[in-house]
Structure 1
Amino acid sequence: MVTISAAYGAGGAAIGPAVAARLGLPFVDRAIPAAVAAAIGCPLEEALTHDGRAESGLGRILAGAARLPTVSFAGIDAYLPEQAILPEEEFVRRTERFITAVADGDGGVILGRAGAVVLADRPGVLHVRLDGTRAARLERAAAAAIGTPRRDVERMLDDNDRARAAYVKHFYGADPADPRLYHLVLDTVRLPEPAAVEVITAAAGAV
């Protein structure tokens, strides 16, 4: 079982699935908010409003939650008035339950969602942080976003960095860049992706 926290432009979307393939485990990324949405009964786009990797920054993450006609708590359907607001904390609780269920089952490689904090005390789970300097991550992101103006890529990088940090700080009082949360911190802008996958795979067998 591996949790991966990745700064924007640090290659998490490529390294995560590669690690999962090497370990023979499922890769869990966007499936988490989809599962949360299904459990609560709201549209996926509303769940993504509370996704820790939302691209439009702190305002999007901490915005008012979905307005739902019905929700289900502990298997009991309850009607809510049209303008009732489902607290954002409920999205986080559902996401935590999903992460815990993965850990309780056959395991997986989880990208984001503050997995290192949620499973901090769980034995047998490797916690990894992928990072790099802002300048280097910006160059990498710009190279991958062919045709996108550099100022837009820079805005996306800064918005994502703020959004991810805000999510973890708001709900868990932690900084996702704090190395004390992880067993392994890698500069995956300078380190080639295949080498990073090798290091993470080897470390996963040691926890």
Structure 2
Amino acid sequence: MSGETSESSLAPESGGPRLVTVSAAYGAGGSVVAPALARRLGVPFVQRATTTVGEFAGGEKCSEGLEAHEEQNGPIHWLLASLSHSMPTGTTQSPPTSARQHEEMRRTAEAGIRRLGADGAGVILGRGAAVVLGKEHGFHVRLDGPPELRLRQGAEIEGIGIEEASAHQHKSDRARTNYVRRLYHVDPADACHYHLVIDSTALPLDAVVEVILRARAHMR
């Protein structure tokens, strides 16, 4: 287990799809593996939450735990927003429908996904990207592992104690799962959405990067 990856080559990897999505449970190392893949492939990287949702991530650190912008896109925030919209402010204003709110959320969240999908090159972390693109577009990876091992690895990646990491794990896994279920009505942990599922607690994270690159290069 490791929070760092040692990249064996600075030259972009060749062969296979250059559009890769990574879905990861807390402590599975998505925050380490996904940006390392983007660097190895020489492609843009879109992470779970950015300063402006849907835009490309820059050089800022990618978080293993829940980002503030992810919390704002979670079910609790949506409920509060729905309630605030429902408050009467005038005789002619009516609250937006739930369906319309969900459509607006999807459109915003998918902006960066659609852009990279059109270009055919990029690495996307989270956002339900595998579900959005479908298995015919890109190479989709799920990182997971036993909860207790993910907990230890998450603590190592974030540089925090086990107790704090446990709180991060519970909050992050719940929020990210609910996000995909709310918008797309599927379970993000379901293997049917991915070309490759890895227990990323069983290998060093730099080895996980290599496994993904090798599998991608041999994709049929």
TM value normalised by structure 1: 0.74
User: Is 2:37–2:209's contact at 8 Å kept on the other side of the alignment?
Assistant: yes
Matched residue type, 1:49: Q
Counterpart in the other structure of 1:59: 76
RMSD: 3.0
Is the 1:34–1:47 contact (alpha carbons within 8 Å) kept by the matching residues of 2?
Answer: no
Q: C-alpha distance in 2, partners of 1:145/1:32? A: 18
- Residue of structure 2 equivalent to 1:119: 133
Partner of 2:151: 138
Q: Does 1:199 align with 2:211?
A: yes
Q: In structure 1, how many angstroms separate the alpha carbons of the residues matched to 2:127 and 2:20?
A: 13
Does residue 164 (structure 1) correspond to residue 182 (structure 2)? The answer is no
Residue 31 of structure 1 deviates from its aligned partner by: 6.3
Match of 2:167 in 1: 155
1:21 equivalenced with 2:73 (yes/no) = no
Distance 2:39 2:83 in 1: 35
User: Partner residue of 2:72?
Assistant: 49
Residue 118 (structure 1) shift: 0.1
Q: Is the 8 A contact 1:64 1:88 kept in 2?
A: no
How does 1:61-76 map onto structure 2 within 5 Å? 62-64=79-81
Asked whether the 8 Å contact 1:65–1:88 carries over to 2, the reply is: no
AA matched with 1:135? E
State the Cα distance separating 1:47 from its structure 2 match: 7.6
Match of 2:189 in 1: 177
1:3-22 pair list within 5 angstroms: 3-22=21-40
Which digits, 9 at most, give the CA deviation of each residue in 1:42-70, with x for residues without a partner? xxx6786116xxxxxx42465426989xx
**TM-score (normalizing by structure 2):** 0.70
Query: Identity percentage over the alignment?
Result: 39
- Offset, 1:23: 1.2
Mapped contact 2:20–2:122 kept (Cα < 8 A)? yes
Distance in 1 (alpha carbons) for counterparts of 2:126 and 2:209: 17
Query: Matches of 1:144 and 1:35 in 2, distance apart?
Result: 24
The residue identity in structure 1 corresponding to 2:72 is: T
Q: Would you say the 8 A contact 2:135–2:193 is kept in 1?
A: no
